[in-house]
Structure 1
Amino acid sequence: MQTLLKTFSAAALALALAACGQQENAAPAASGADKAAADKKEIVFGTTVGDFGDMVKEQIQPALEKKGYKVKLVEFTDYVRPNLALAEGELDINIFQHKPYLDDFKKEHKLDITEAFQVPTAPLGLYPGKQKALADVKDGASVSAPNDPSNFARALVMLNELGWVKLKDGINPLTASKNDIAENVKKINIVELEAAQLPRSRADVDFAVVNGNYAMSSGMKLTETLFQEPSFAYVNWAAVKTADKDSKWLKDVEEAYNSEEFKAYAKKRFAGYKYPAAWGESAAAGAKAGAASSAAASAASAAK
């Protein structure tokens, strides 16, 4: 009996030790995965050429390097590849788009990416081409505009506010299309182009609706605009893979973009931009922009 008891006790002890060994072996695997995520030290940014890339190079990269990160920047000249590159894992984060565009793009291409935080954004503006003032508009005037659906809708809303076209009642301004034009008051010839081509198009059209980042990267100034959209619906967002939404590295990136140092830099370097809602300045700036836009629209209507 004593022999049996000793044998049973030894077997039980062996099983207990084996179970503990399995738990110890399993623990490092789980914690190792967590540690790998926590220890991510290289962040690959994707931006369009111009202001968003400058923000990374001039402020965000140095701030993150102080925290031990290595930062790589990839700059694009279109609005398609940055989201595809993000979804395919070539980028960790991209910064170039507003939420309506992101929502449309990820739905169309079935991408598992999401918005993370807002960044300072140059507003869409109507710039002079062959004609130098709103009062110079004539019937049949040509206006170049971005050809992607969400930005084209913004251009139509601007033309509606100027009184150059009339949009149908009750339409969604975020999805407006040519089919929503009730009346082309000025018989505007809308020339649709890739956004990156709009600054150069000014030599060939009477007016050009240009995205802020491409206007700035081509040397244009916000003070040159004849009319700016008053809406804050198009302040741009950083986007990441959905799986990274709560990652430690992303929190560090967001902290850098919302730091007092970055705010001071952006307000000096990018004066006239629309700033993130988290900065608490959109309402006052929006009221000012709205008043200026209303005055410009009234002047344009009076000149018809």
Structure 2
Amino acid sequence: MKKSNALLALLLSACFIAHAHAADPSKPEIRFGATAGPYSDQIRYGIKPQLEKEGYKVSIVEFSDYVQPNLALADGALDANAFQHEVYLKKFSADHKLALSELVKVPTAPIGLYSHKHKSLNELKEGATVSLPNDVTNQARAIILLQQLGWVTLKPGVDPVKSSERDIASNPHKIRLVPLEAAQLPRSLDDVDYAFVNGNFALAAGLKLPDALLLEKIPPYYLNLVAVRTADLNKPYVKDIANAYRSEEFKRVIDERFAGFSKPAN
């Protein structure tokens, strides 16, 4: 019995040592930034437990806007963030001269068109108000959906991915577009006829994806991602983050908790 206990203790000790040395010794704590809602929850339930098994301490900082998470990452206050797609990351990094890079894409909640006043898209009336994101890349996503609905058409030669209100050629229903910060869009539902709401803010506000009158079919360049500082891409802790997102354990969490999300190909 004593030999058995001694062997068990030795095995447990070996496992502890293996886990302790699995973590990047230069980075004992990993600080994630994410918008409140599904992307912070993906880290909380699918990523944090895995990294903690590897010996890391993991903290999550939640944000309510799309500006501060990248600035905090670039300044070193964060080690990674999860809230944006590659179009937004590239433009924001270029505009602010930040050296940030994509690490891995993550399951993403689509933009949806919601209404508290109408039960269908067929109830659109002349002069209706439609709120949409005011940041460049997410506004373009909403305008693409407006064009798909036939509510607006774009000027010839305009790249829809870079489109804005100024690129609208015709607006047959005389819709009044109301650009707002993405986080404010759920609150606008009581004041407008329809609102385009980013999936994370919709879920955080208690809206359900299946209740949207229209859901975006997300192309790969609009799938959200984990961003890190470019200089850190090859560091061991960054590779551990990527491995956690690609793991079967994370996939199980997504299937159980985030139904309806668009998933990356790998």
User: Normalised by the size of structure 1, how large is the TM-score?
Assistant: 0.78
Task: Name 1:21's counterpart in structure 2.
Answer: none
Distance 2:129 2:111 in 1: 18
Deviations 1:227-270 (A, max 9, x none): 11223231001111011111111111111111111112102211
Task: Name 1:43's counterpart in structure 2.
Answer: 30
Task: Name 1:139's counterpart in structure 2.
Answer: 126
Q: Which has the larger radius of gyration?
A: 1
Distance 1:220 1:101 in 2: 24
1:76 corresponds to 2:63: yes
Task: Name 2:102's counterpart in structure 1.
Answer: 115
1:99 corresponds to 2:86: yes
Distance 2:126 2:234 in 1: 53
Residue identity (%):
53
Q: What does 1:1-304 correspond to in 2, within 5 Å?
A: 38-232=25-219, 233-278=221-266
Distance 1:147 1:111 in 2: 22
Q: Which has the higher contact order (CA 8 A, sep 6+)?
A: 2
Task: Name 1:23's counterpart in structure 2.
Answer: none
Q: Are the aligned partners of 2:223 and 2:264 in contact in 1 as well (CA < 8 Å)?
A: yes
Q: Are the aligned partners of 1:130 and 1:204 in contact in 2 as well (CA < 8 Å)?
A: no
Distance 2:142 2:229 in 1: 29
Between Structure 1 and Structure 2, which shows a larger proportion of helix residues?
1
Q: Are the aligned partners of 1:129 and 1:208 in contact in 2 as well (CA < 8 Å)?
A: no
Secondary structure, counterpart of 2:31 in structure 1: strand
Q: Are the aligned partners of 1:128 and 1:207 in contact in 2 as well (CA < 8 Å)?
A: yes
Question: What is the total number of aligned residue pairs between the two structures?
Answer: 243
Distance 2:240 2:63 in 1: 24
User: Normalised by the size of structure 2, how large is the TM-score?
Assistant: 0.89
Residues 237 and 65 of structure 1: CA distance in aligned 2, closer, same or farther (over 3 Å):
same
Distance 1:169 1:229 in 2: 23
Residues 87 and 122 of structure 1: CA distance in aligned 2, closer, same or farther (over 3 Å):
same
Distance 1:269 1:170 in 2: 41
Q: Are the aligned partners of 2:218 and 2:262 in contact in 1 as well (CA < 8 Å)?
A: no
Secondary structure, counterpart of 1:202 in structure 2: helix
Return the offset for 1:159.
Answer: 0.4
Unaligned runs of 5+ in 1: 1-35, 279-304
Return the offset for 1:37.
Answer: 6.3
Return the offset for 1:38.
Answer: 4.8
Return the offset for 1:39.
Answer: 3.4
State the Cα RMSD in Å: 1.3
Distance 2:160 2:90 in 1: 15
Q: Are the aligned partners of 2:182 and 2:197 in contact in 1 as well (CA < 8 Å)?
A: yes
The one-letter amino acid of 1:63's match is Q
Q: Are the aligned partners of 2:145 and 2:216 in contact in 1 as well (CA < 8 Å)?
A: yes
Distance 2:196 2:207 in 1: 12
Distance 1:93 1:238 in 2: 7
Secondary structure, counterpart of 2:195 in structure 1: strand
